[in-house]
Amino acid sequence: MLKISKRTQSLGTENAFVVLKEVNELVKKGEDIINFCIGQPDFDTPEYIKQAAIEAIRDGKTGYTESFGIPKLREAIADYLSKTRKIDVKPDSVVVANGAKPFIGYTILSVTDYGEGHEVLYPNPGFPIYESQVRAQGAIPVPLDLRERRSYSFDIEELEKKVNEKTRLLILNSPHNPTGRVLNRDDLEQISRIVEKYENLWIFSDEVYCRMVHDGEFVSISSIPGMQERTVILDGASKTYAMTGWRIGFAANEKLASHLARWVTNTDSCAGHPNQYAALAALTGPQDDSKRMMMSFRKRRDIIVKGLNEINGINCISPGGAFYAWPSVTEASRLVGAKDSEEFRKRLLYNAGVAVLSDIHFGHRIEGEGEHIRFSYATSEENIREGLSRIKDYIEENKKT
């Protein structure tokens, strides 16, 4: 019998796309679904960015580029990262890829060795591809639990206990998916004091939502003294410029850039040539459309948090960034007789016409943390209000006690 490798069979996935398939199947059957499950802006890519890609195609920019990315784009990225992170980033430190996601695997491959027992610390709950890629690349995933009582920030004492000589990478994500937590300078300084004790410990800082900070300001751990040289800064065009389908991500680290580029050579060869010119236009062109999108997300954040907290059995901490809400639905699940958040999630989809994700889609349940679901509020205010109304009605009409 032809066999599939254990590595492939155990490979995780991103359940937003699994639930999206469920949603699409229901829509095909004529069901009316309010969709909060997929994390992508509901805006169209700005016209000037589209035109830049069209012009690039007409100018014959359709062949391979160097694996690092085209020089003009790397220069623009270096300038962008320098200004937004308040550090000095050189173009030679920048690598472009087909989306930001590949850099998760590339970085793990670059700093850990298969079979050596090297460990990677990652946030739980968190973006599911972190753990999936750690396992796939032969390293050992070590979850760092984010608890509601700490507003989903790291427990510094737990971090200190879990870091050891085998730890090769610490994954940070701020603003955070799925909780919306934003790490402040004090958080990052405490983390840096632990990290600096270990000469072989790298940081992978996933900052793709950096322009979506609703309260305060964004701070990158790379701006903390001594941290830039060991930090892989991850960002991309998808969220800030509504370019998810264009697949342009970028990472920066002086020591690892050439190694990351070799992984690009070994996998995709290079990012899409005309798409790189679209990203160049995005970074160097007018920022008005992007700013309007960010302001819209903040307004939607306020609407959804207020609405969730007005529903019987639901409690939601206001997220500081990104476009996700992570409410506790422990009491709401009990009220309707759902055993956990996943059953509650399914009931909302099939009985109320509302698509969300449950906490099991973002890692392992944490003892004592209760039940949570994730809303992506990258949808219209009208959809947000209608979705919340449906949830409220469902709970009221199906209460067991």
Q: What is the CATH number of domain 47-284?
A: 3.40.640.10
Residue spans of the domains in the chain: they are 6-44+289-397, 47-284
Token output for 201: 């410990």
Residue count (the chain)? 401
Q: Which CATH superfamily is domain 6-44+289-397 in?
A: Aspartate Aminotransferase, domain 1 (3.90.1150.10)
The identity of residue 305, as a single letter, is V
Q: Exposed, middle or buried: residue 49 (CB in 10 Å: 0-12, 13-18, 19+)?
A: buried
Of the candidates 376, 358, 377, 348, the residue with the CA atom closest to the CA atom of residue 15: 358
Radius of gyration of the chain (CA): 21
φ/ψ region of 110 (left if φ > 0, alpha if ψ in -120 to 50, else beta) reads alpha
pLDDT in tens, the chain (401 residues): 899 998 888 888 777 777 888 888 988 999 999 999 988 899 999 999 999 999 999 999 999 999 999 999 999 999 999 999 999 999 999 999 999 999 999 999 999 999 999 999 999 999 999 999 999 999 999 999 999 999 999 899 999 999 999 999 999 999 999 999 999 999 999 999 999 999 999 999 999 999 999 998 999 999 999 999 999 999 999 999 999 999 999 999 999 999 999 999 999 999 999 999 999 999 999 999 999 999 999 999 999 999 999 999 999 999 999 999 999 999 999 999 999 999 999 999 999 999 999 999 999 999 899 999 999 999 999 999 999 999 999 999 999 86
Could you tell me the pTM of the whole model? 0.96
Q: What are the strands of the beta sheet with 202-206, ordered from one edge?
A: 94-97, 249-252, 231-236, 202-206, 167-173, 119-124, 140-145
